[in-house]
Amino acid sequence: MYAILLAIHVIIALALIGLILLQHGKGAQAGASFGSGASQTVFGSQGSGGFLSRATGTLAAIFFLLNLLLAYMVNKANHQEILTNEPPAVQQPVGEPNKSDVPETQ
């Protein structure tokens, strides 16, 4: 399931990049006087601004929710791994202790 969500996450990220690059800037209305204004009738009289803005906002919200979900899944998986992997038991040496382990008395 993690791999599927990660693939969807990448697809949404690429779609967001595309939608952001398609949007017109605030100064893009000056280009309408040179003949590019007629192509905006496909999306209505206001152009594609409303549609692209809503689509970008929706994809951004889904992107952030997927970020949170994927982070939760990774955190949960790491937490489970920590709980299941016990550290190796420390073996006590048999015989005399090391001289460095015993404090010297004066």
Domain boundaries, the chain: 1-23+48-83
Higher-pLDDT residue of 82 and 97 is: 82
What is the predicted pLDDT for the residue at 48? Answer: 58
pLDDT, residue 90, reads 62
Rounded CA-CA distance 50/43 in Å is 9
Cβ(56)–Cβ(23) below 8 Å: yes
Whether residue 33 has pLDDT greater than 60: no
Mean pLDDT of 43-66: 82
Segment 30-56 shows an average pLDDT of: 63
Query: Both ends of the chain: CA-CA distance in Å?
Result: 66
Inter-helix orientation angle 49-84/2-22, to 10°: 150
Which tokens hold the place of 61? 């919200």
